[in-house]
Structure 1
Amino acid sequence: MAGRVLPLLPQYRKDGVTRRICATAHLHDELARDIDRDLTGDRLTAIGLTLGINFVAVARHARVAVRRRKVLDRQLAALGALFIASLLIALWSLIAGHGSLVLVAVYGALGVLAVTWGLVHHAQARAREAAQRVFHGAEKPETLAPPVEQDAEARLNELKRSNVLPYADETALVNPFVGSGKRLQEREVIWGPIDVSEPAEGPGGAKLPIADFDAIDLHTYVARQMESISGLDGLRTRNRLYVLGSNAYLLPELVPDRTRRPNPHVPKQLVQAGLQQPGAGMRTHLCLERVGEGGRLIVSMYLRAILAKPSLSWEVAAYAIPPLEARFHEVDTLPLARFDRWWSLVKYATAHTWSELSGAPGRMMERSRWLYDNERTLRKQRRKIKNQHIIVDYGAATSLRERYGDWDQAGYAERMDALDYLVRLQQGVLTATERFLKDHNVDTSSFDNAQKIITQNYHVNNVNGPAIFGAGGTQHNNGPQGGGPQGSGGGGGTPPAKP
């Protein structure tokens, strides 16, 4: 019955993935360090797409965790020096026969261990408290941590509306859509060609004049209509210029300073130019992104209209990013009851006291060494750019969201959602294309023939072991690949991708 009122079931939080990453950064020092270096560190390469993650919030919480670890390691290093001094004094006193001094030195060493235990306990308690506050709290995650550098946050905010992405040269042989996850199709495909030169018939059989259009008009129409046609609420659509990393410097608007990282945004005219007249390693794709419940799953489809009149073809690629890996669910299992929380912290501090104390100098040296090596490498690269005019690969190689995804965490619901999104996007593109051609008085008989072959031969890929999708309908797990209309009906797909 239409209009029925039903109770609202519990829902995943829309920013659930952001909160999980922020929380886990407090619990895993290496993760916090890597995120801090990736999002706010000095670099020449582009940062991957945000893909539903609030980078500012993640960067802030990672920085808090990094600073907490640095302070703890400095304290532990000082205690470690006292511990070694106490042992040396005890050894000297034992040899010299000063029994009372031996006891003082031994008690001093035990005192160092006790203080270490207290510091480890306190740091872990603060980390867990911060993790639980950001994960369970009602406040926005970015408000629960102090800001990082102003220019770094400005760059991260710019990534939200990124309309250009340099991709690393090493990925060029596979695809330019870095950080988008695993292919849902077995390979990228070409839909078409479709004859768009024949005018449609009007009333009385008279031929209607074809309204002039170009690929930009088609992309704009599909972008505006896809959400309503597909029924995928919240579908994000954007034309984005993909640029080969080593060619990024050819666009001054993208790389105004060759010694700095590329801009995440360029003038709209350049994005349109990449569709109308692709450049050297520069092509524009219509990017359709559907984020699943709570951000657990992301399905992306990339389209490029190839309009070489009298024919139209669609270049199509689809990818998916799975839920976060297991360690990002540790925050769910942190004890909340007072005694359980106390006992868990006691066990943690007892088990980690010695490793924390003995490992502090090494961790401090590793951080200093990395910082020195990174600064030296960047300094040498920048000097070569200025003096020798070397060409640098400015491209991103992955995304933060892709890096921490794990298909083993994808259940039946996520696999079925991915299939649903893919089918809706596929059919939505075909429906939008048909409506566009009809609106421009183009005869769609060629399109109708191509559509039949496309839907019959469409094939979905397995990702890492068990099939994501079951066989049924027009989706097949086995059998020949149908990249597009074959034989007299049109061109086929691209060669199979390398595993």
Structure 2
Amino acid sequence: MPQYRKDGVTRRLCASVHLDDDFAQEVDRDLTGDRLNAMGLTLGVNFVALARHARVAVRRRAALDRQLAALGALLVTALLVALGGLIGGRGPVAQIGFYGLLGALASAWWLVHHAESQARAAAQQVFRDPDRAEKLAPPVEPEAEAWLHELKRANVLPYADAAALDNPFVGSGHELRETVWQPIDVSKPAEAPGGGKLPILSFDAIDLHTYVAREMESISGLDGLRARNRLYVLGSHAYMLQELVPDRTRRPQAQIPKQLVQAGLQSPGAAMRTHLCLERVGEGGRLIVSMYLRAILNRPSLTWEVAVYAIPPLGARFYRLDRLPVASFDRWWSLVGHATSHTLPELRGAVGRIRGRGRTRRRSAKFLKKVRRDITDQHVIYDYGAPDSLRERIGDWEQAGYNERTDAADFLNRLQQGVLVATERFLKDHNVDTSSFDKAQQNINTQTYNINNVNGPSNIGPGGQIGNPNAPQGSGPSGPGGGAPPNKP
């Protein structure tokens, strides 16, 4: 059967920056702008490709505004000349002004038409080309791309201080559950086959994390499951790790030595803890379910700290591409209508948009200059933490259909059961008696998850059963237009 491509969300976002100027500005500023705080995780999005297309879109918008501003000045001049000729009774002068007025309007119409035509062509090309999203736009600054490449394999993430009391896993979406599982006694040796007791093999939390990370994909049956130990650091404490913030006037690193990540598990402290991050991306990247685990081994007991989050499909604004006409006449007529209805508003707003972007750049540069001066001269402690992620901001639970809800239930069930199976196997491999684990497992398996959807909560329990069966479950395809077509964008 046809399958969704894994890069469907990336290509849809790359297409959307060409059609949505505000989104293009936001992406360009977030991914390549000067900053001090960390950036949220990529979560299935190719940030390099997105940054490249956003830069193309931003430059096209800036060039159009400059041209429209010049034509606006010409338009005002022509209007004054025409009025002066009419008032003074000089017909030829008024005629010149009138023709200048028409010429400026016609030129502005053509510029708006041409820019929209270019934007739509670029959007449709990147959306429909399954293999060249990153190559269809020129590179941005090498240092920015290098940082975005590192972010794909980030093993550390500073989180904003504002999230410390609620959700240190910033950018991971909607909280489904946060809990600490029932402790397991790991001090009793297992029975030997011929009688007596087997010697317990020594292990620590790092060994357990490593085993679960290595075995979870095969145990859970979730192909493509991403498992990685990641150190989460409170943003205002990030400067304490020199390897994370080598220069306090620059943004934090996305990768640090593995030994520091392990230390955050073995001996957490100073608001720095290491979690095993399990991330499963659904069909076409529409849904992302993440489970964060931390083994707490305080002998004689072991327990798991567990947090589960989900990010819904993209919001409705990112499906405009599906409604663009592609037939020759329909496309031509649509562009004519767009240029006709947008020429005057574009002309009136060109100067304001140019000034607004300039003010934003100056305000940002002034803020960063002041903060850097305070850090250097006053030794101010700065919050380097990421407040969220791009993928989280643009998700919308109203676009989550039946398929997404059932996929989330399946992922959660498999992840929870997989962790339990992996833990049991690990303990048996180390000759630990699992009777205490068996009792804890019975309690853990009764836990449920709450998943928001269009019509309200659905309680997803063991076995993927949906609680509250009388509640409405929604209908229709999974998002506008049913999402990306099979084997296509």
TM-score range for the pair, normalised by the shorter chain length? over 0.9
**2:304 aligned with 1:314:** yes
1:280-316 Cα deviation digits (max 9, x unpaired): 0100000000001110110000000000000001000
Who is 1:19 aligned against?
11
The CA distance in 1 between the partners of 2:326 and 2:142, in whole Å, is 36
Who is 1:163 aligned against?
155
What are the equivalent positions in structure 2 for 1:28-427 lying under 5 Å apart? 28-185=20-177, 188-427=178-417
1:135-154 Cα deviation digits (max 9, x unpaired): 01143200000000000000
Q: Secondary structure at the match of 1:304?
A: strand
The CA distance in 1 between the partners of 2:462 and 2:427, in whole Å, is 27
The CA distance in 2 between the partners of 1:117 and 1:284, in whole Å, is 57
Q: Secondary structure at the match of 1:95?
A: helix
Q: Secondary structure at the match of 2:417?
A: helix
Q: Secondary structure at the match of 1:243?
A: strand
- Give the TM-score normalised by the residue count of structure 2: 0.94
Equivalenced residue count is: 467
Q: Give the unaligned 5+ runs of structure 1.
A: 1-8, 479-499
Who is 1:451 aligned against?
441
1:201-223 Cα deviation digits (max 9, x unpaired): 01122101000000000000000
**2:455 aligned with 1:466:** yes
Contact 2:405 2:453 in 1 (8 A): no
Contact 1:240 1:271 in 2 (8 A): yes
Contact 1:459 1:476 in 2 (8 A): no
The CA distance in 1 between the partners of 2:194 and 2:175, in whole Å, is 48
Root-mean-square deviation over aligned CA pairs: 1.2
Who is 1:494 aligned against?
none
Who is 2:484 aligned against?
none
Who is 2:482 aligned against?
none
Contact 2:450 2:460 in 1 (8 A): no
Q: Secondary structure at the match of 1:141?
A: coil
Contact 1:462 1:477 in 2 (8 A): no
Contact 2:399 2:454 in 1 (8 A): no
Give 1:133's aligned amino acid. Q
The CA distance in 2 between the partners of 1:229 and 1:63, in whole Å, is 42
Moved segments of 4+, more than 3 Å: 467-478
- Give the TM-score normalised by the residue count of structure 1: 0.92
The CA distance in 2 between the partners of 1:290 and 1:138, in whole Å, is 21
1:101-143 Cα deviation digits (max 9, x unpaired): 1122122111111110000000000000000000011432000
Q: How far did residue 467 of structure 1 move?
A: 4.2
The CA distance in 2 between the partners of 1:437 and 1:83, in whole Å, is 79
1:439 corresponds, among 413, 425, 429, to 429
The CA distance in 2 between the partners of 1:203 and 1:296, in whole Å, is 50
Q: How far did residue 477 of structure 1 move?
A: 4.7
Contact 1:183 1:463 in 2 (8 A): no
The CA distance in 2 between the partners of 1:82 and 1:138, in whole Å, is 44
Q: How far did residue 184 of structure 1 move?
A: 1.8
Q: Give the unaligned 5+ runs of structure 2.
A: 469-489
Give 1:459's aligned amino acid. T
Q: Secondary structure at the match of 1:320?
A: strand
The CA distance in 2 between the partners of 1:476 and 1:215, in whole Å, is 34
The CA distance in 2 between the partners of 1:137 and 1:286, in whole Å, is 35
The CA distance in 2 between the partners of 1:286 and 1:338, in whole Å, is 52
